Structure 1
């Protein structure tokens, strides 16, 4: 079967047909599903518009953003703020360092720990790039008026707060005393011959 891009309406209709008989909280499913689809579409648009001329990926931009807003920070903190693993940050920071945008230095109290900071070139890039990035944010949000933008932002903050406040306990409750399995990349372990 030939794959094609489906509209959000087609997707929601297919979901209704597939799950029509199940007792589900459809409004919650639609809200979370649309958050995911919107985030993916926005990320793709921003990478292909504002970031591509600067040869930046979304993740590279987010690392630069975290350092631009918060200043020098330990690598674990940057990874946490950017929502990525420390391993992913290592590769991203090496790329950004090779481009002269980020500087890595040992922590003064423990040389095993690493500090990251924007270089002057990184600062200049963010000052140049961010107005164009924000113009694309405005393009993405153009169908909403200011009150709707505020309402959407407040609703998303409430979801984030729910997860930050109660998410860990919910995960424990769902596990019912079992240990959480380690996070995996999705790849299956190799089978020994």
Structure 2
């Protein structure tokens, strides 16, 4: 499991640290556990079913997006996969070198690149996805089918909240200003 503390210990330490601060603890726990669950599941899948295929989570997600959606522009694949276009370029080149993905120029706009699975990529996904899904069933095995549906519905509502109202909220929090450019977190050497 990622991290050195159990989920129970992390929650206990957060409660102690926050003490009397006026925060919404249930919402904090929900968001923290979304992150922790996503990290834990990703780690498990990379180190089990994806390890045998020598795939990272990101590479698998790119294959999934193109497998399900068919031939797509790179910008749309990056957005659906939740990665930058730069990251997608590296991942797609690796998948192309393995014969799973084909990158081609757009027929009417030379600035755009299209991605599609090769026949080998299609066969690969048909072969690997049942094992991947078996691990999805494993990681959710303590939940009933109804609880899985409820969890998926709740998470879908979280995503929709951000998709539908996130931009407005960001503008409000920034008093209408554009967000500052992202930084790597490193300080300049000057």
- Same-fold call, TM cutoff 0.5: yes
**For 2:60 and 2:108, how far apart are their aligned partners in 1?**
29
Q: 1:132 is matched with which residue? A: 131
**For 1:161 and 1:91, how far apart are their aligned partners in 2?**
29
Deviation of 1:96 after TM superposition, in Å, equals 0.4
Structure 2 unmatched ranges of 5 or more = none
Q: 1:41 is matched with which residue? A: 40
Q: 1:16 is matched with which residue? A: 15
Give the SS at the match of 2:133: helix
Q: Say whether 1:191 aligns with 2:189.
A: yes
Q: Structure 1-normalised TM-score?
A: 0.95
**For 1:69 and 1:151, how far apart are their aligned partners in 2?**
24
Structure 1 unmatched ranges of 5 or more = none
Deviations 1:73-117 (A, max 9, x none): 111111011110000000000100110111111100012211111
Runs of 4+ with >6 A deviation: none
Q: 2:170 is matched with which residue? A: 171
Query: What is the root-mean-square deviation in Å for CA atoms of aligned residues?
Result: 1.0
**For 1:115 and 1:185, how far apart are their aligned partners in 2?**
29
Deviation of 1:5 after TM superposition, in Å, equals 1.5
Deviation of 1:56 after TM superposition, in Å, equals 0.2
**For 1:51 and 1:163, how far apart are their aligned partners in 2?**
30
Deviation of 1:186 after TM superposition, in Å, equals 2.5
Deviations 1:133-173 (A, max 9, x none): 00000000000001111110110011011101111000000
**For 1:160 and 1:48, how far apart are their aligned partners in 2?**
27
**For 1:132 and 1:156, how far apart are their aligned partners in 2?**
24
Deviations 1:29-79 (A, max 9, x none): 000000100000000000011101000000000000001000111111110
Give the SS at the match of 1:50: coil
**For 2:60 and 2:28, how far apart are their aligned partners in 1?**
30
Give the SS at the match of 1:103: strand
**For 1:32 and 1:72, how far apart are their aligned partners in 2?**
33
Deviation of 1:25 after TM superposition, in Å, equals 0.2
Give the SS at the match of 2:49: helix
Number of residue pairs matched by the alignment: 188
Describe how 1:44-193 pairs up with structure 2 within 5 A: 44-188=43-187, 190-192=188-190
Give the SS at the match of 1:40: helix
Deviation of 1:6 after TM superposition, in Å, equals 1.0
Q: Structure 2-normalised TM-score?
A: 0.96
